[in-house]
Chain A
Amino acid sequence: MATGTDQVVGLGLVAVSLIIFIYYTAWVILLPFIDSQHVIHKYFLPRAYAVAIPLAAGLLLLLFVGRPPYGAYQGRATQDLCRHCSPSSMAALQTPLGMKLFRTHPD
């Protein structure tokens, strides 16, 4: 078994995901079958938010997906480059396809 903070963090993640799952399942699946006068509806937002909130959260998470800037490979010393890489061909490396080819370069 893991020790100390590892266990706390791990079980915390399990608990959080369980809470989210149970609340969301009640919201989307159970609530439509419960009489609209029941008091439980007080604890849930209007139904449109059941799609809007996960959508907004997903878009927010997409903002945290990044990549290194296009000039990332320019700082390499000249002796690192193979004999095939002329200065003019380095200009072509700034494109994403160029970066991919550079990584699979034989020399």
Chain B
Amino acid sequence: MTKLAQWLWALALLGSAWAALTLGALDLPSSCREVLWPLPAYLLVSAGCYALATVGYRVATFHDCEDAARELQSQIQEARADLSRRGMRF
């Protein structure tokens, strides 16, 4: 079975369970019902929050190498000077 088919199966199963419970298949207390019906929206919002937090965290902890960056810049300047001395125009 392809990954798409697996995802669609899982979505269909969970979606039908949610729909059945929201429309009253079992007798649930009203507070449980109130938690149940916004659940799909809640899962989407939490997935979005998790994605945002992951992106933010990895931006904040990215391994910058400042010394290597400076060294690279100076090597670029050196190369440009050398090449323009030999006649190449930028």
Question: Which chain A residues have a beta carbon within 8 Å of chain B's beta carbons?
Answer: 1-3, 6-7, 9-14, 16-18, 20-21, 24-25, 28-29, 32-33, 47, 50-51, 54-55, 58
Interface-forming stretch among B18-26, B46-54, B82-90?
B46-54
Contact of B64 with A by CB under 8 A: yes
Complex A-B: 6 CB contacts under 8 Å: A1-B63, A6-B64, A9-B60, A13-B53, A28-B39, A47-B34
Instruction: Name the interface size band of chain B.
Output: 20 to 34
Q: Complex: how many Å from CA A55 to CA B55?
A: 22
User: Is the pair B60, A2 in contact by a Cβ cutoff of 8 Å?
Assistant: yes
Q: Is the interface of B mostly helix, strand, loop or mixed?
A: helix
Q: What is the chain A residue whose CB lies nearest that of B63? A: A1
Contact of B68 with A by CB under 8 A: no
Q: Complex: how many Å from CA A12 to CA B35?
A: 30
User: Is the pair B42, A2 in contact by a Cβ cutoff of 8 Å?
Assistant: no
Q: Is the interface of A mostly helix, strand, loop or mixed?
A: helix
Q: Complex: how many Å from CA A7 to CA B63?
A: 11
Question: Which chain B residues have a beta carbon within 8 Å of chain A's beta carbons?
Answer: 31-32, 34-35, 38-39, 41-42, 44-46, 49-50, 52-53, 55-64, 66
